[in-house]
């Protein structure tokens, strides 16, 4: 009887081992599939990654019901080529934060205030004074393009900038914004070969790339599962 149990256990182990090896081989042969991600999910599940903002500040915006204002800025050189970029990013980042149960100020309210002030603002203290919010997230894009340089028929997204967050505090009857988080942001997509306009129209590619930027920036502020690829 004991030998029979041992044989049964050995067969079960062999079957499990074979299944693991087979899955790894399939993973290796699949395009874009990460062996380490698949193996990790198999043995440890899909772990939740703590976002950089929470790691540094120990504040979970969703759990602590903090109210957030998002604002985006770009230099004049970018606005002249892409006049709607600020609002497009503002709208997409806001949508992703709300989807993660983070309370975010309405984009229309922010856009109206910006329009009333000539589309510019001097500093974050000015935003703190004019809006009822706990935190201000500032996305400053210094460089952006989705066209391959000197190649009108090729598309590749590139962006560079900085993402900052400020806690709004009141002192002596005045609101002030204290920087509590800052991180450089760099993006290139696709990283290997550009996309031909025959494969994808510039309009569709631009929308896809903006969605990607919004996903990456959003992840600075909410937790996500390791297996959730962008």
Whether residue 38 sits in one domain with residue 7: yes
Beta-carbon neighbour count of residue 160 at 10 Å?
Answer: 13
Residue 111: per-residue pLDDT: 87
Q: Are 16 and 205 in contact (CB under 8 A)?
A: no
Whether residue 64 sits in one domain with residue 166: yes
Residue 120: per-residue pLDDT: 74
Whether residue 27 sits in one domain with residue 105: no
Q: Is residue 230 part of a domain?
A: no
Whether residue 82 sits in one domain with residue 21: no
Residue 114: per-residue pLDDT: 84
- Collapsing DSSP to helix, strand or coil, 90 comes out as helix
d(CA 109, CA 115): 10
Whether residue 184 sits in one domain with residue 115: yes
Whether residue 214 sits in one domain with residue 180: yes
Beta-carbon neighbour count of residue 114 at 10 Å?
Answer: 18
Whether residue 152 sits in one domain with residue 64: yes
Low-confidence residues of the chain, pLDDT below 50? 2-14, 16-33, 37
Q: Which of 93, 114, 113 is nearest to 104 (CA)?
A: 93
How many structural domains comprise the chain?
A: 2
Whether residue 38 sits in one domain with residue 111: no
Whether residue 165 sits in one domain with residue 87: yes
Whether residue 108 sits in one domain with residue 38: no
Whether residue 148 sits in one domain with residue 73: yes
Helix (H) or strand (E) run with residue 55 in it: helix 52-57
Whether residue 86 sits in one domain with residue 165: yes
Residue 116: per-residue pLDDT: 86
Q: Is residue 216 part of a domain?
A: yes
- 12-67, pLDDT tens digit by residue? 444 544 444 444 444 444 444 455 545 555 555 679 999 999 999 999 999 999 99
Q: Which residues pair with 194 in a beta bridge?
A: none
d(CA 195, CA 159): 16
CATH label of the domain that carries residue 72: 3.40.50
DSSP state of 100: T
Structural domain that includes position 6: 2-44
pTM for the predicted model, two decimal places = 0.79
Residue 172: per-residue pLDDT: 85
- Collapsing DSSP to helix, strand or coil, 158 comes out as strand
Q: Is residue 192 part of a domain?
A: yes
Q: Is residue 119 part of a domain?
A: yes
Residue 25: per-residue pLDDT: 44
Residue 173: per-residue pLDDT: 85
């Amino acid at each position: 009887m004991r030998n029979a149990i041992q044989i049964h256990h050995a067969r079960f182990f062999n079957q499990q081992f074979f299944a693991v090896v087979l899955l790894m081989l399939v993973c290796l042969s699949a395009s874009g599939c990460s062996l380490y991600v698949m193996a990790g999910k198999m043995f440890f599940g899909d772990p939740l990654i703590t976002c950089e903002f929470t790691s540094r500040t120990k504040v979970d915006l969703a759990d602590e019901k903090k109210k957030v204002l998002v604002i985006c800025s770009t230099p004049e050189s970018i606005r002249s080529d892409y006049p709607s970029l600020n609002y497009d990013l503002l709208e997409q980042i806001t949508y992703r934060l709300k989807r993660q149960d983070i309370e975010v100020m309405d984009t229309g309210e922010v856009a109206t205030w910006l329009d009333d002030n000539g589309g510019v603002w001097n500093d974050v203290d000015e935003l703190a004074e004019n809006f009822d919010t706990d935190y201000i997230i500032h996305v400053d894009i210094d460089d952006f393009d989705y066209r391959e340089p000197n190649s009108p028929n090729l598309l590749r997204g590139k962006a560079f900038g900085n993402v900052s967050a400020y806690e709004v505090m009141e002192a002596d009857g005045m609101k002030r914004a204290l920087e509590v988080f800052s991180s450089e942001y760099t993006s290139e997509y696709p990283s290997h070969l550009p996309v031909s306009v025959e494969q994808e129209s510039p309009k569709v590619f631009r929308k896809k790339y903006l969605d990607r930027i919004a996903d990456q920036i959003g992840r600075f502020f909410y937790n996500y599962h390791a297996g959730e690829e962008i």
